[in-house]
Amino acid sequence: MLLGVDIGGTSVKFGVVDEKFNIVHRSNLRTEKGISEKDFLAAVAAECAAIAKEYPIERIGAGSPGYVDMDAGVIKMAVNLPFKDTPVAKCISDATGIPTVVGNDATCAAIGELYAGLGAGVRNMVFVTIGTGIGGGIVIDRKIYLGTRGDAGEIGHICVNVDGEQCGCGRRGCWELYASVTALKKRTARAAKAHPNSILARQVEQEGVSGRTAFNAARMGCKVAQLVLDRYLDYLAVGIGNLICIFRPDVVALGGGLSGEGDGLLKPLCAKLQSDIPVEISKLKNDAGMIGAAMLHRSIEEAKK
C-alpha cells in the first residue's frame, strides 16, 4: 500500500491508497496558525509513523503548496505554511524508514486525477486547485509536466493585474490574490461590511465568512452577494482562459475546496469563458491530492522516461 499526504493551509490529510486507487484509511491534522516549522514537521511525521505501524506502506508521497525541489525533497517556500528550504521528505523517511518523495500539492492533485479521475480517458489536461491559494498541475501526453527543475505549474502566481496587490511570493497582482478562496472570503467580508442590511451581511453575522457564504446568499436572492460572485468569477475566468490559450488541453479540471459548489460554480464560470474546451469539476474532488501524492513516485519515474 501507499501513503499519500496532502499538506494544506488549513489541514493535512493522510490517505492509505491500495492498488485500485481506493483510500482504505484516512486521517487529518489541523494546520495551526503560527505553528513553527519544527513542530509542524514533527506532527506530520508522527502521524505518518503511526499509520505505517497499522498498514504495510511501501512508499510515501507528500504534496504541499509552494515551490518544491523534488530531487532534494525540499519545500523551498510556501506562502501559507512555515516552510523555508524545509527537508520534508527526509523528516518523514527518518521517522518511518520508508522512501518518501515530495511534490507540489496541485501537481499531486493532477496526478490523482490523471490516474483515477477525469484524466483516465484524456491525453492532455490542466488541473486547477482553488483553495487557500491557487495551484495547478499540467499533464501532457499522459505525463505530468514538471519542468526542468521539477517545479512547473505555479499558476497561482501568474500576473492578472500588473499594478495589483503585493503577494507573499514577492510579485504583484498574482492570480491567487483575486481568485482563491482566500480572495473570495476577503471580498465577501468587505461587501457585507459595506452593505450591513443585506442578506449577505446577515449570513456573515450568523455563520462567519467562508468560501461558500456568497454562494449561499446569492441562492437566497441577495444582489450584493451576486455582485461579489460576478467579480470573483471574472478573475477566475481570466486565469483559466489564459491557461486554455496556452495549453489547449482536452479538459480543464477544477479541484480544491470551492469545487464543492459544483454547478453553482461551473455554470456561471463557463458562461464567462465561452470556450470550446470543457471545464469540469474534479471527479476525485478533495481526494485527488492524497491519491496523487501516493502515486508521486510512479509519476516521477514515468515523467523521466
C-alpha cell at 58: 511501501
Whether 269 shows a pLDDT value over 80: the answer reads: yes
CATH code for the structural domain at 123-282: 3.30.420.40
Q: Residue holding cell 474532488?
A: 285
Q: What is the pLDDT at residue 286?
A: 83
CA nearest neighbour of 257 among 107, 112, 129? 129
CA angle 214, 203, 8 (to 5 degrees): 55
| DSSP per-residue codes, 195-253 | -TTSHHHHHHHHH---TTHHHHHHHTT-HHHHHHHHHHHHHHHHHHHHHHHHH--SEEE
Beta-bridge partners for 27: 14
Whole-model pTM? 0.87
Whether 176 shows a pLDDT value over 90: the answer reads: yes
Q: Note the pLDDT tens digit of each residue in 213-252.
A: 999 999 999 999 999 999 999 999 999 999 999 999 999 9
Domain ranges, ordered by start, for the chain: 2-110+287-303, 123-282
Give dist(CA 147, CA 105) in Å, integer: 15
Q: What is the pLDDT at residue 65?
A: 84
Whether 123-282 and 2-110+287-303 are alike in CATH topology: the answer is: yes
Query: Are 139 and 110 contacting, i.e. CB atoms less than 8 angstroms apart?
Result: yes
Whether 9 shows a pLDDT value over 80: the answer reads: no
Q: What is the pLDDT at residue 43?
A: 95
Q: What is the CATH superfamily name and number for domain 2-110+287-303?
A: ATPase, nucleotide binding domain (3.30.420.40)
